[in-house]
Amino acid sequence: MAIKQATELKCGGLVIGCTFDHRVANAHSANMFFVSWAEIAHVKPISHIPCFRRSLLNLRCPGYYDRSIDNIYVFLSSLPPPKLLDDPEPNEDPLKSRIYYVVSEDLICLQSQATNSNGIKRSKLVSFSAFLWKLIAFADKFESEFGSNSNKRFKIGVVVDGRGRLTLNNNIKADHELEKYFGNILSISYGEVSVGELNAMHLSKVAELVHDCLEGAATEEHFLGLIDWVEFHRPEKAIVRVYCKETDDETVMVVSSGQRFPVSKIDFGWSKPSFRSYHFPWGGQTGYVMPMPSTSRDGDWILYMHFREKHLDFVESQAPHLFRPFTPAYLNLTP
């Protein structure tokens, strides 16, 4: 993990950032680091001493995993090295990063639109992911002459943190240590539908697909099986399949969530932060979405998006009320 020096902004604020390797830690661990750093700045005792007990994630005896995990991950040795992550397809736009804000009223409206005929209401994250999945599918169809890409697949991956799913045999002490575990306990299950099917579906049906994708990895058995799968195949290195765009894929995107960022606990001595976000400068052609809660207005989101430029331009033009460009004015930081 590398710490970037604080930089003073023209509007009088400061920027503090750090970089970390996702093979070592996920956002949960990074959040612990930020909280501890802020506590040290105030000469306070560290409230959450990080746990480095790798044995918490040991192989079960006997080990077992569902064969569906074979479809979620792929071995690096099976991929062509030039196309692993860093080489975009010929004539394809490189991915760009933009930040938006989404107001709470629009998120509630999306939830309402994503509610099915039985009255089942999906979460804001699921509803928004479904809307974005469908919107970008429409962008791909709109761009393709005569809808020639309608049969191509559009994959969506959803990031799930395993800390809240594992109980470690009802061992309260182990569960407490797991919450403080400094490492990476993530899974990214994914769903795929053709561009044509997505365009024909009602938003509530797309939300149901996102929900099913999320629920597939939101169980204890899934994470216990994933641990066993990794140990069974050690030392073979693997990567989530959704990160690797395949020949029949039109578009691929991954949705995560920074809603649990502990902003109320992060104060280095000059008040709580007015803005925070993540940046993932990875290669390849897999889009990335990270919504975080706004500090300026309850219920609003700060939305980090890493997508092909044509997709970013399209969502801005088709849904400007939802994807509002993030500016200092939103934070009341203008001189």
pLDDT of residue 7: 42
Split at pLDDT 50, 70, 90, the class of 209 is very high
Q: Which of 25, 74, 57 is nearest to 240 (CA)?
A: 74
Helices (H), 144-202: 172-179, 195-200
Q: Which two tokens stand for residue 172?
A: 């309260």
Q: Is the pLDDT of residue 238 over 80?
A: yes
| Residue 258 CB partners (closer than 8 Å, separation 6+) | 27, 276, 277, 278, 290, 291, 292, 293
Split at pLDDT 50, 70, 90, the class of 229 is very high
pLDDT of residue 169: 65
d(CA 316, CA 125): 19
The dihedral of CA 100, 23, 255, 50: what is its sign? negative
Helices (H), 102-256: 104-114, 124-143, 172-179, 195-200, 203-215, 220-233
* More reliable by pLDDT, 283 or 332: 332
HSE-up (13 A, CA, CB side) for residue 259: 13
pLDDT of residue 148: 62
Omega before 62 within 30 of 0, i.e. cis: yes
Q: Is the pLDDT of residue 249 over 70?
A: yes
pLDDT of residue 216: 84
Q: Is the pLDDT of residue 8 over 50?
A: no
Please list the residues that pair with 293 across neighbouring strands: 301
Measured at the CA of 212, the angle between CA 168 and CA 246, to 5 degrees, comes to 100
Q: Which of 198, 227, 200 is nearest to 61 (CA)?
A: 227
Distances (CA, A) of 87 to 72, 81, 227, 241: 22, 9, 30, 16
Q: Is the pLDDT of residue 59 over 50?
A: yes
d(CA 291, CA 294): 9
3-state helix, strand, coil in the chain (%, to 5): 35, 20, 40
Q: Which of 3, 62, 56 is nearest to 228 (CA)?
A: 62
In words, the CATH class of domain 2-331 is: alpha beta
d(CA 100, CA 258): 14
User: Are 295 and 332 contacting, i.e. CB atoms less than 8 angstroms apart?
Assistant: no
pLDDT in tens, 287-330: 999 999 988 888 999 999 999 999 999 999 999 999 999 988 88
Q: Which two tokens stand for residue 224?
A: 């216990």
Q: Which of 237, 230, 244, 242 is nearest to 76 (CA)?
A: 237
Percent residues over pLDDT 90 in the chain: 41
pLDDT in tens, 97-143: 999 999 999 999 999 999 988 888 999 999 999 999 999 999 887 66
> Stretch 159-188: mean pLDDT, rounded?
81
Q: Is the pLDDT of residue 10 over 60?
A: no
Q: Which two tokens stand for residue 244?
A: 């690797």
pTM to 2 decimal places = 0.87
pLDDT in tens, 69-105: 998 999 988 887 654 444 555 556 788 899 999 999 9
Q: Give the chain's mean pLDDT.
A: 85
d(CA 97, CA 130): 20
pLDDT of residue 16: 81
d(CA 207, CA 197): 14
